[in-house]
């Protein structure tokens, strides 16, 4: 790994792109470890100066105020530098990052964590006529629209966990609205029968109409069109189907998969550019059971592991292979109900689940945990280094 000369001191510059769950973990870990690693500097680039709690955006979308989490304050006294701006280009040959088109940052090692957003370009009309939960501004815009309605129909497109949480939250906070959840699969399809039954019962109790086995093929002003030609009236459409990643990695010439995610080796380095590490949703991280899917529970460990790998490489040590096993799928069903499906490391459901108030407490603890965890990492980097490794599900060969 190369270094740059600053005066008489060799300095290794690490730039982290994206302050999501994974990018923040990588930044805080690197900054904390830089105190012992001479000549290591860390710069974090993000479009906003507040941390987005993506796990709570369905609450923001219903007008609930969340605590303001300042990235600048979190990085205070760590030595890490924060640059606010949009990343517009990465030059993997020159090792530069362009921010807001008028600023260039040089790096020796890059941590690419720009994450993913709801794929609003996949279906005609979504970009023009639907809301997404891609960030707090979008969620706040939806909250304002829902507050103005006074009645009518809200269609939530997508029966995954984000769609379920959003439909339940909207129905509970706005009982005057008719909420319709539309998706290809039945809600909770990946859960065990008990958890799935509780989830469906909660949606029924909240008055959410479920349309499983249905696919939205077009969003129009005032309605959505389903495959087969049926039309469903909609005063508001919330789109939670599918995700897409930033095209910047592919444009930079990094090796990516069919979805545009950076293909990594076992240490989370880009297979095409070993001076680039990819974390969170932006990375195609292969484990024994397949490619990781983007969640907070897997994203934060990738950020920590990338940071530890970078420091080990700077010391001339071999980075260890990343291993991760899933352990739960917590789902909010409004503020007073939830279901937690415990899983095997490959994300298949176990027979154990929590429901009701116990599940609410569990889910809220999980949702609130990332920010305090970053705070502990600042003082004790190793405090963020523990997660389920997945046992036999994730055994791989160490990188050569």
Supply the pLDDT for residue 294: 78
Burial group, residue 293, by CB count within 10 angstroms (0-12, 13-18, 19+):
exposed
pTM here is 0.94
Residues 6+ apart with CB under 8 A from 67: none
CA pair distance 120, 35, nearest whole angstrom = 42
User: Would you list the DSSP string of 270-338?
Assistant: BSS-TTEEE-GGGEE-EETTEEPP--HHHHHHHHHHHHHHHHHHHTTPPPPPP-----EEEEE-SSS-E
- What beta strand segments (E) does 47-194 contain? 81-84, 87-91, 96-99, 103-106, 109-112, 116-118, 152-157, 177-182
pLDDT in tens, 330-353: 999 999 999 999 999 999 999 999
Mean pLDDT to the nearest integer, 380-393: 88
Residue 204: CB atoms within 10 A of its CB come to 11
- For residue 31, what is the enclosing H or E element? helix 21-34
The lowest-confidence range among 27-36, 187-196, 382-391 is 382-391
- Domains in the chain (CATH in brackets) are 4-115+246-325 (3.50.50.60), 126-239 (3.50.50.60)
Supply the pLDDT for residue 399: 43
Q: Decide if pLDDT at 17 tops 60.
A: yes
Mean pLDDT to the nearest integer, 39-61: 96
The band of 6, judged by pLDDT with boundaries at 50, 70 and 90, is very low
Residue 9 region by backbone torsions, left for phi larger than 0, else alpha for psi between -120 and 50, else beta: beta
Contact indicator for 176, 206 with CB cutoff of 8 Å: no
In three-state secondary structure terms, 373 is helix
Backbone angles phi, psi at 116, to 5 degrees: -135, 165
Mean pLDDT to the nearest integer, 244-252: 96
Q: Decide if pLDDT at 100 tops 70.
A: yes
Supply the pLDDT for residue 2: 55
The band of 38, judged by pLDDT with boundaries at 50, 70 and 90, is confident
Supply the pLDDT for residue 142: 98
How many CA atoms lie less than 13 Å away from 203 in the CB half-sphere? Answer: 28
Contact indicator for 391, 381 with CB cutoff of 8 Å: no
Q: Decide if pLDDT at 388 tops 60.
A: yes
pLDDT in tens, 104-148: 999 999 999 999 999 999 999 999 999 999 999 999 999 999 999
The lowest-confidence range among 58-62, 292-296, 349-353 is 292-296
How many CA atoms lie less than 13 Å away from 168 in the CB half-sphere? Answer: 26
Q: How many residues does the chain have?
A: 400
Supply the pLDDT for residue 109: 98
- For residue 238, what is the enclosing H or E element? strand 236-239
Burial group, residue 187, by CB count within 10 angstroms (0-12, 13-18, 19+):
buried
């Amino acid at each position: 790994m190369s270094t740059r000369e600053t005066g008489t001191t060799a300095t290794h510059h690490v730039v982290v792109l994206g302050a999501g769950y994974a990018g923040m973990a990588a930044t805080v870990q690197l900054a904390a470890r830089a105190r012992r690693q001479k000549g290591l500097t860390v710069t974090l680039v993000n479009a906003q100066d507040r941390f987005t709690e993506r796990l709570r955006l369905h609450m923001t979308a219903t007008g609930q105020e969340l605590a303001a989490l300042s990235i600048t304050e979190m990085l205070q006294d760590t030595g890490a530098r924060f640059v606010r701006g949009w990343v517009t280009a990465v030059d993997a040959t020159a090792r530069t990052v362009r921010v807001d088109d008028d600023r260039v940052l040089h790096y020796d090692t890059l941590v690419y964590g720009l994450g993913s957003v709801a794929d609003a370009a996949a279906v005609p009309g979504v970009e023009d006529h639907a809301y997404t939960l891609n960030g707090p501004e979008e969620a706040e815009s939806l909250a304002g629209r829902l507050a103005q309605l006074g009645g009518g129909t809200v269609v939530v497109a997508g029966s995954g966990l984000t769609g379920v949480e959003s439909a339940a939250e909207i129905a509970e906070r706005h009982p005057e609205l008719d909420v319709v959840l539309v998706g290809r699969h039945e809600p909770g399809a990946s859960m065990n029968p008990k958890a799935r039954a509780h989830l469906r019962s909660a949606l029924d109790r909240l008055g959410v109409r479920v349309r499983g086995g249905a696919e939205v093929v077009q969003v129009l002003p005032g309605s959505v069109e389903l495959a087969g030609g049926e039309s469903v009236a909609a005063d508001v459409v919330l789109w939670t189907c599918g995700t897409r990643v930033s095209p910047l990695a592919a444009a930079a010439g990094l090796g990516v998969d069919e979805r545009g995610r950076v293909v990594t080796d076992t240490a989370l380095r880009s297979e095409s550019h070993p001076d680039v590490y990819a974390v969170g949703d932006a990375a195609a991280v292969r484990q024994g059971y397949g490619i990781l899917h983007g969640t907070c529970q897997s994203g934060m460990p990738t950020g920590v592991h990338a940071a530890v790998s970078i420091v080990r490489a700077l010391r001339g040590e071999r980075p260890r292979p990343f291993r991760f096993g899933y352990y739960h799928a917590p789902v909010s069903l409004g503020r007073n109900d939830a279901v937690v499906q415990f899983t095997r490391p490959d994300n298949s459901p176990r027979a154990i689940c929590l429901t009701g108030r116990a599940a609410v407490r569990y889910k809220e603890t999980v949702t609130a945990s990332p920010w305090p965890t970053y705070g502990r990492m600042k003082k004790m980097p190793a405090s963020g280094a523990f997660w389920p490794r997945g046992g036999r599900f994730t055994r791989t060969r160490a990188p050569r």
